[in-house]
Amino acid sequence: MEWTSQARQTLHDHVKKSTNLTPTSEIYNDIFTDLTAHVEEELHQKGLRKISSESLQTVLDSIGHDEFHESENQDTTPSAEPPLANQNLVTPLDSKGKEIPHFNYSPKQSKRKFKVFNTFCAWLFTIFLPAVALFTELNLHESRSIFFDPIPTWMHVILIALVPITFLVVSRYREHLNNISHGESINIRKLKTMKALLGFTLPVITYYFILFLPITPVAIIGCIFLLGFLPLAPLFCFIGWFRANSAISNFIDKPHQIISRKWLRYGLIAGLLSLVALETPAYFAQKAITDAISSDEETSQQGIENIRRYGGEDSLLHFSYHGEGRSRGFAGKLGKNPAHWVYNFFSSRSISSKQARTLYYQVTGIPFNSVKPPKGANGNQGILSDWTWDEDHGGDEVAGRTKGLSMHSSRMDMHVDDESRLGYVEWIIEFKNTQSLAKEARMQIALPHNGFVSKLTLWVNGEERPAAFSTVGKVKAAYKKIAVQQRKDPVLVNVSGADRVMLQCFPVPANGGLMKMKVGITFPLSDTDSASGNIHFPYIAERNFGIGEDLKHEIYAQGNLQITAPESAKDSSGNMNTLQYAFANPALKTQYIAWKDLTPSGRSDVWTIDPFHDGDDKYLTRQTSEHISLNQTQKTPIIVVIDSSSSMHKWKPIIAKLIENNTADIDFYLAGSYPEPLVSIKSVDQLETTKFVGGIDNIPALRKALLLAKENKKNPSSILWIHGAQPIRFPSIAGLEQDLERSLTRVPIYNVALEDGANFVLEALKGNPQFKGGTRVVNESDLVHMAQSISQPLPKNQYTWTRSASPPVNGIRVWDQLARKWAYTTTMQHLKEPEFASLPAHYQLVTPLSGAVVLETKQQYIETGLNIPTSTNAAAIPSIPEPSSSLLILIGALMTSMRRNRCQIVVTDFQ
């Protein structure tokens, strides 16, 4: 109903006259409110919407006066205010002239002036402090890095931001109330809004107050360092809320207190519901995490599915980046979300970083370290983040990304040799560390197929130092002693799987320091007598450092055959024998150089002077025998095991191509999770409709595939394992190792890694002759060709190695990489035989038996029992000889061939 101000005044006059009461008295207000309602009801029934003095007077006449008031309605309540007649009573109207719902200001108590000190405290502790705390947490993530993340989502940020905003609005409203006089109108809508806002913020404030309660004592001590005030913000807000609410209530008369309480309740319910809606999924996610680490398979599987449902991935990532040592204690109880924190606080189970990493992979299908650390997680952001310790320092795993560590430069120099059909690439890498503590760089390098590391150097004080090669145990012990204990300059390279090595170096100096090293890799151009092929680059399969988008791998390739850069290498500017260009890191895996022998000379013997051989028969000859035509009347059946982890989803088209080209000799299976580890795939449609979810442990599938492969004893199948990363050391690996070692039927397993990342299956089975590396898949047809080569292999060269004390008469002299290739082949064929154990180290090779380490000083080599390395016989990129030089070499070779003295056959290589 709309009242004219005159009508309102008339009603006041009427009440005053009929009651003889002052407007400050309760009874006056009661009667005034009752009469207002009565008048409105009466006129509403008459269809009136606006109350004028005239219409009011009509109603008042009908109502009449209180016949008893003269004797009894003498209110004795003393009033500190002047009589109503002196007040300026104005009915508030909106812009359209419509009256705004209001009541007349009439505090229960006498008006208290808003004290300056109170205002200051209210602003400081309930507005400024929570706002600063929120801003600080958003930027520095201190709470997140130490305790839990109080603002895991933007909705949390909004909820918390509402607290200082509400206090600000309420404070302004209090000031407004303080400045108005008795009897003046107070906008009811505003009052309702204030109360609703206060109600909304109460659950939020209470929740955070309880969350931060355990650290309140620490925070109080921390107040000495000023920062302690921030965790106390919820406490101050909690106290401030009651003060603010009571201050508002003091200005409200009794009937409107009922309304205000109602709106307070509405706000409170809304706040509570918002909080519950926000936190409940996180709570269930945390419960799912606890279920997922259960030893019961079924519960665990259900837990994993629930983590996906409720979104616990972020929390798992948070746990994954927490150090293992700490996570078993109090830290293991902490979570990402406040709800996680609450759940874990009351839960008896904690999760270790290893469990979290396993779960993260199982839930998402991607290794945790392929994702940047969450803000505030160990090693990332926060004031103290520069000082966080790398939990995996000196370990065998690449593990998570290290903040501030990056690849600064990368250069590859390659030589490919036509006669020996060998290539050699030197990869010079520089790491940079912008943090305040020295860091360890770790990476897994995927080598060209059948490649091996044949050189390692480290720049120490600007000088290139060669590596010592020794047994894996010795070099690892030396690295740990020097890098971890003495924190000096070593670099270590070890085999971590088929066609894979692990490189780790320490320390990459702090504050922008650089660490530079060179890794030399020898690789065969082809297994067959082909006159052309592709050379793939070594690439980074896993790393703990960042690579900037602007980093380019500088490539230089030379060779005595035709080499061409891929079409994508726009900067290519080579001629027949050299090539130079650069490309960004993501292309490193897929780029290749095509080589072609324009003048194939047929199979020719090649020889070299073996620089590592101690005897007189240092002339090592490789004879290429006639091609062996393998009996191909019966094709080898293949069992294809496809990793159905989510990261493999994008490879479905390439796998579908393989299924389409199936010649009925291939059975396709998906590696599934509990309870069915191997699921048969009959068609492309079935593959496409099957959802690849989470990270699958492929070992049970491989074990079952092995059983299937051995069913046909006359012609056992080969297994082609197409997979992504297997970043978890699942305990089932021991069973697979046993299956491979103890089985009488040797089933080869060819592995094709389509996705990067750690692969502990490859690492565990390194050196196992049944476990073979696969080709790198770049094109759609690569998998098909791979399957064909397994099913019906092309004829391969048969190499026969001989030694002699004098240069062989026939054959072409080639570079000494031939000797390294011989040593590598020999080692790989005799991995289990002790007499060959020292061979790879002697030839300065990194194999499953040997590793390489560069130390800083001679003393360190002596301390760790390693031979002091020299640069003698080190592999190098040969310079391209001028034509005249080539002629001299040819003449020399012919002359020495006149005095040939051949020795026994040493090794036969069926590569």
Partner 1 sequence: MTEFYDNWTKQVRKGIIEYCILATLENDELYGYALVKTITSLPGLQVAEGTIYPLLSRLKKQALLSSRLQESHEGPARKYYLLTEAGEKQLGLMHLYFDGMLKGIGQIESVKSQLDLTSKTSTSAAKNSNKK
Residues 252-291 that bind partner 1 (CB under 8 A): 255-256, 258-259
Q: What is the dihedral of CA 292, 296, 297, 301, to 10 degrees?
A: -30
Judged by CB under 8 A, the residue of 9, 19, 143, 470 near partner 1 is 19
DSSP letters, 659-698, are HHT--SSEEEEEE--TT-SEEEE-SHHHHHHS---S----
The residue type at 518: K
- For residues 107 and 311, which CB has a smaller minimum distance to partner 1 in the complex? 107
Judged by CB under 8 A, the residue of 5, 33, 87, 562 near partner 1 is 33
- For residues 30 and 324, which CB has a smaller minimum distance to partner 1 in the complex? 30
Distance between CA atoms of 630 and 383, rounded to whole angstroms?
Answer: 66
| Closest to 170 (Cα-Cα) out of 69, 228, 240 | 240
Helix axis angle, 188-212 to 154-179, nearest 10°: 130
* 108 touching partner 1, by CB under 8 A: no
**Min separation Cβ 145 and partner 1, Å:** 50
> CA–CA distance from 846 to each of 435, 611, 614 (Å)?
31, 17, 20
Distance between CA atoms of 370 and 401, rounded to whole angstroms?
Answer: 8
- For residues 72 and 567, which CB has a smaller minimum distance to partner 1 in the complex? 72
Residues 844-903 that bind partner 1 (CB under 8 A): none
User: x/- string (CB under 8 A) for partner 1, residues 212-251?
Assistant: ----------------------------------------
- For residues 18 and 206, which CB has a smaller minimum distance to partner 1 in the complex? 18
**Min separation Cβ 108 and partner 1, Å:** 14
- For residues 1 and 547, which CB has a smaller minimum distance to partner 1 in the complex? 1
The residue with tokens 């795993």 is 397
Query: Two tokens at 843?
Result: 């030839």
Instruction: Assess contact for 699 and 721: CB atoms under 8 A.
Output: no
Distance between CA atoms of 810 and 621, rounded to whole angstroms?
Answer: 10
- For residues 3 and 815, which CB has a smaller minimum distance to partner 1 in the complex? 3
Judged by CB under 8 A, the residue of 26, 324, 396, 737 near partner 1 is 26
- For residues 30 and 184, which CB has a smaller minimum distance to partner 1 in the complex? 30
Kind plus residue range of the DSSP H or E element containing 876: none
* 45 touching partner 1, by CB under 8 A: yes
Residues 50-89 that bind partner 1 (CB under 8 A): 60, 62-69, 72-73
**Min separation Cβ 64 and partner 1, Å:** 3
**Min separation Cβ 23 and partner 1, Å:** 14
* 1 touching partner 1, by CB under 8 A: yes
**Min separation Cβ 304 and partner 1, Å:** 51
* 157 touching partner 1, by CB under 8 A: no
**Min separation Cβ 253 and partner 1, Å:** 11
Query: Two tokens at 572?
Result: 């290519």
- For residues 41 and 571, which CB has a smaller minimum distance to partner 1 in the complex? 41
N-terminal to C-terminal alpha carbon distance within the chain: 98
**Min separation Cβ 58 and partner 1, Å:** 13
**Min separation Cβ 403 and partner 1, Å:** 58
Judged by CB under 8 A, the residue of 35, 186, 666, 681 near partner 1 is 35
Instruction: Assess contact for 496 and 763: CB atoms under 8 A.
Output: yes
Judged by CB under 8 A, the residue of 5, 27, 100, 375 near partner 1 is 27
**Min separation Cβ 20 and partner 1, Å:** 11
B/e letters for 70-90, b = 16+ CB within 10 Å, e = fewer, are eeebeeeeebebeebeebebe
Q: Cβ neighbours of residue 710 under 8 Å, at least 6 residues apart? A: 716, 743, 745, 747
B/e letters for 447-479, b = 16+ CB within 10 Å, e = fewer, are bbbbbbbbbbbbbbeeeebbbbbbbbebbbbbb
Judged by CB under 8 A, the residue of 30, 305, 464, 665 near partner 1 is 30
Judged by CB under 8 A, the residue of 31, 468, 555, 839 near partner 1 is 31
- For residues 27 and 809, which CB has a smaller minimum distance to partner 1 in the complex? 27
Distance between CA atoms of 317 and 312, rounded to whole angstroms?
Answer: 9
- For residues 17 and 176, which CB has a smaller minimum distance to partner 1 in the complex? 17
| Closest to 215 (Cα-Cα) out of 242, 240, 235, 239 | 235
**Min separation Cβ 2 and partner 1, Å:** 11
**Min separation Cβ 196 and partner 1, Å:** 15
Distance between CA atoms of 77 and 754, rounded to whole angstroms?
Answer: 88
Residue 588 DSSP SS3: helix
**Min separation Cβ 85 and partner 1, Å:** 20
- The piece of 19-27, 153-161, 543-551, 724-732 that touches partner 1 (CB under 8 A) is 19-27
Judged by CB under 8 A, the residue of 5, 6, 40, 585 near partner 1 is 40
β-strands 2-3, 50-51: how paired? parallel
- For residues 2 and 863, which CB has a smaller minimum distance to partner 1 in the complex? 2
- For residues 36 and 624, which CB has a smaller minimum distance to partner 1 in the complex? 36
- The piece of 38-46, 89-97, 767-775, 800-808 that touches partner 1 (CB under 8 A) is 38-46
**Min separation Cβ 177 and partner 1, Å:** 20
- For residues 248 and 356, which CB has a smaller minimum distance to partner 1 in the complex? 248
- For residues 102 and 820, which CB has a smaller minimum distance to partner 1 in the complex? 102
DSSP letters, 456-468, are EEEEETTEEEEPE
Distance between CA atoms of 571 and 222, rounded to whole angstroms?
Answer: 58
| Closest to 668 (Cα-Cα) out of 720, 745, 736 | 720
Distance between CA atoms of 186 and 353, rounded to whole angstroms?
Answer: 58
Distance between CA atoms of 723 and 541, rounded to whole angstroms?
Answer: 13
**Min separation Cβ 104 and partner 1, Å:** 15
| Closest to 718 (Cα-Cα) out of 663, 665, 776 | 665
- For residues 257 and 718, which CB has a smaller minimum distance to partner 1 in the complex? 257
Cα three-residue angle 606-612-615, rounded to 5 degrees: 90
**Min separation Cβ 18 and partner 1, Å:** 6
* 42 touching partner 1, by CB under 8 A: yes
Contact positions vs partner 1 (CB under 8 A): 1, 18-19, 26-27, 30-31, 33-35, 37-38, 40-42, 44-45, 60, 62-69, 72-73, 255-256, 258-259
